[in-house]
Amino acid sequence: MAQPSETQTTDIVLPGSARRLLASALSWLYLVAIYGFIFLPVAVLVLFSFQDGRLPVPPFNGFSLQWYESVFADRRLMAALANSLMVAVVSSVISCLLGFLAAYALARYRLPGSVLQRGLLIAPMTVSYLIIALGLLAVLNALQVPLSLWTVGIGHVVINLPLCFAIIYASMGDHHVNIERAARDLGASDVKVMALVTAPMLMPSIMAAFFLSITFSWDEFIIAFLLSRFDVTLPVEIWSMLRSGLNPKTNAIGSLVFLASVVVLVVLELALFGRSRKP
């Protein structure tokens, strides 16, 4: 039944294949463009972090590690880096713990207004970081809590808890119910069931939630800026450096931050998704 149309198109075989070639070329171009659009700024940043000379602008004068040297020599930057790391790890651990407990309760028990509670837990995802930061600032002022890295951590728990809850809740299937029941039947208390059975079974999604929280906290600026005072996180420190003009050091520290995020993503990919590919 394809016969008539085939005879009809024999005289335009060449344009047909040319069109296919063009389509293929265009889709390749699109691919290159989209990845270029995403990664070109990063590539430029990384390239000019190795710039030899005073200005981080084209042309590229030559390869040098001087900016990295000065970054590692800068005690304020290094202190901010350590602060960022600490806030990211602590706030992510707390977010995962609270998210896990909330998910466990909502998945396993019949609670009053569970749909509403689930909605309220996820709702902060839809609120902008600026609003969250301003709200927290007002509350902290009212309670006369001094701003510190702790208050930044609280802010990061607020933004990461909905994420951790959603990821862990989604992986809590009914197929785990009988396994938990078996553990209880064999004498495990509720706390032991959670610690020895439920949490280890959900470890892939708990780890995914943890690493995503880390990257979000690591990059976050507005909350960290508004809720900190003397000790600041890395994005805030970089921002204050930028105020005093364009500086190749910012390219170097930016490249390092990017590298850290890439490492976390690679670890995530290898540790979790690599393992889940096995049956």
Q: How far apart are CA 78 and CA 234, in angstroms?
A: 8
DSSP 7-24: HHHGGGHHHHHHHHHHHH
Distance set, CA 86 to CA 80, 82, 90, 257 (Å)? 10, 6, 6, 15
Among 147, 203, 207, 264, binds another protein (CB under 8 A): 203
DSSP label at residue 113: T
Q: What is the CA radius of gyration of the chain?
A: 26
Among 186, 191, 244, 277, binds another protein (CB under 8 A): 186
Among 79, 86, 98, 188, binds another protein (CB under 8 A): 188
Type of residue numbered 245: G
Taking residues 161 to 180 in sequence order and writing x for each that binds another protein by CB under 8 A, - otherwise, the string is --------------x--xx-
Q: How far apart are CA 61 and CA 70, in angstroms?
A: 18
Is the bond preceding 204 in cis, omega lying within 30 degrees of 0?
A: no
Least separation, in Å, of the C-beta of 118 and another protein?
A: 25
Determine if 192 is a binding residue for another protein (CB under 8 A). yes
Cβ distance to another protein smaller for residue 66 or 176: 176
Please choose, out of 45-53, 83-91, 152-160, 188-196, the segment that lies near another protein by the rule CB under 8 A. 188-196
Determine if 108 is a binding residue for another protein (CB under 8 A). no
Distance set, CA 180 to CA 109, 158, 202, 244 (Å)? 13, 30, 12, 58
Please choose, out of 10-18, 25-33, 46-54, 191-199, the segment that lies near another protein by the rule CB under 8 A. 191-199
Determine if 271 is a binding residue for another protein (CB under 8 A). no
DSSP label at residue 221: -
Least separation, in Å, of the C-beta of 187 and another protein?
A: 4
Least separation, in Å, of the C-beta of 189 and another protein?
A: 8
Among 181, 240, 266, 267, binds another protein (CB under 8 A): 181
Chain residues binding another protein by CB under 8 A are 175, 178-179, 181-189, 192, 196-197, 200-201, 203, 279
